[in-house]
Amino acid sequence: MILAIAAILALVVFLSGCTDTNAGEDLETNINTDSGSDEVTSITVSAAASLTEAFTELGTVFEDENPGIDVNYNFAGSGTLRMQIEGGAPIDVFASASQSHMNILSNQSLIVEDSREDFASNSIVLITPFDSELDITDAEDLLSDDVKTISIGNPQTAPVGKYTVEALEEASLWEELQPKTLLADDVKQVLVYVERGEVDAGFAYSTDAATADEGTIEVKASIPTVTPISYPIAVVESSQHQDEAQTFVDFVTSEEGMAILDSYGFTA
């Protein structure tokens, strides 16, 4: 019952949060029938929040090169996106920040297995507000009584949080730091908390830290992760536009797509 309610809530979030590379265009418009060379097929790509900037540019280039396909984006924590797909949301492509959420869909036969590819990797960094007066240079410094609040992604829905908890457990720090944590929906919310000085520190992907406005945060340390941070992408089995969805996947994993991802700090 709890999982069913969670899936319904995730679907509601999806329906209210879907974005388009063509601003203002309704999700249901421009759906291709089967005829007419001027008609456009609209596909929806659910992608991890950490991919927001890179995929936005990638989508613009993709649409220029594929004028018959429009890309609608739905960015959120990978766990939230996975639950939306489980709940029947009309998604064509899923790009996750972790293998685990893609594996869950795979085990339910909800993705096209032959389309699945790993396309990027990332790293975790410890960040603080730019004007922080606390002496924080690594994760152990967070044990100080002067550090009151630390933001991490919710490990149930945001892979950045799960990677962080694993790393802190490995360093024997999690038990003491857990009471100080403020959970965020995704890595973007972690970044906002730190930028606004609402927390003393946070754990984010290095790619997201690089998107922060100048003079808002400082990167204090790189955090080794127990599980390699790997991003898989796949066509969703229920997609009504699998050919177009596969075209998008192929573009992401092409040399041109990888070059765009590299420019945002992701590695192949």
Mean pLDDT of 240-264: 98
Strand order in the sheet with 117-121: 19-20, 69-76, 41-48, 93-95, 230-235, 117-121
- Provide the pLDDT for residue 18: 53
Q: Identify the burial level of 97 via C-beta atoms within 10 angstroms of its C-beta, where 0-12 means exposed, 13-18 middle and 19 or more buried.
A: buried
Higher pLDDT, 7 or 211: 211
Residue 199 has which token pair?
């927390």
Higher pLDDT, 48 or 22: 48
Distance CA 194, CA 262 (A): 25
Neighbours of 141 (CB within 10 A): 17
Per-residue pLDDT at 35 exceeds 80:
no
Return the minimum-mean-pLDDT range out of 22-36, 49-63, 192-206, 234-248. Answer: 22-36
Q: Identify the burial level of 37 via C-beta atoms within 10 angstroms of its C-beta, where 0-12 means exposed, 13-18 middle and 19 or more buried.
A: exposed
Mean pLDDT of 212-227: 97
Distance CA 96, CA 105 (A): 11
Higher pLDDT, 13 or 184: 184
Which residue(s) pair with 106 in the sheet? none
Per-residue pLDDT at 221 exceeds 90:
yes
The whole-chain average pLDDT of the chain stands at: 90
The closest of 253, 248, 267 to 42, measured between CA atoms, is 248
Condensed to tens digits (0 to 9), the pLDDT of residues 42-61 reads 999 999 999 999 999 999 99
- Provide the pLDDT for residue 247: 98
37 dihedral zone (left: phi>0; alpha: psi -120 to 50; beta): alpha
Condensed to tens digits (0 to 9), the pLDDT of residues 165-184 reads 999 999 999 999 999 999 99
CB of 152 within 8 A of CB of 246? Answer: no
- Single pTM value for the model: 0.85
Mean pLDDT of 150-156: 97
Distance CA 259, CA 252 (A): 9
Higher pLDDT, 29 or 40: 40
- Provide the pLDDT for residue 204: 98
Return the minimum-mean-pLDDT range out of 22-26, 215-219, 234-238, 254-258. Answer: 22-26
Higher pLDDT, 31 or 95: 95
In the chain the domains, ranked by start, together with CATH numbers, are 2-121+229-263 (3.40.190.10), 124-223 (3.40.190.10)
Distance CA 53, CA 89 (A): 23
Residue 256 has which token pair?
């041109």
Query: Quick one: what percent of the chain has pLDDT higher than 70?
Result: 86
The closest of 171, 104, 185, 99 to 141, measured between CA atoms, is 171
- Distance from first CA to last CA of the chain, Å, rounded? 39
Per-residue pLDDT at 17 exceeds 90:
no
Mean pLDDT of 235-248: 98
3-state SS class at 95: strand
- Provide the pLDDT for residue 268: 83
Distance CA 14, CA 46 (A): 9
The closest of 114, 78, 241 to 86, measured between CA atoms, is 78
Residue 85 has which token pair?
């797909």
Per-residue pLDDT at 5 exceeds 50:
no
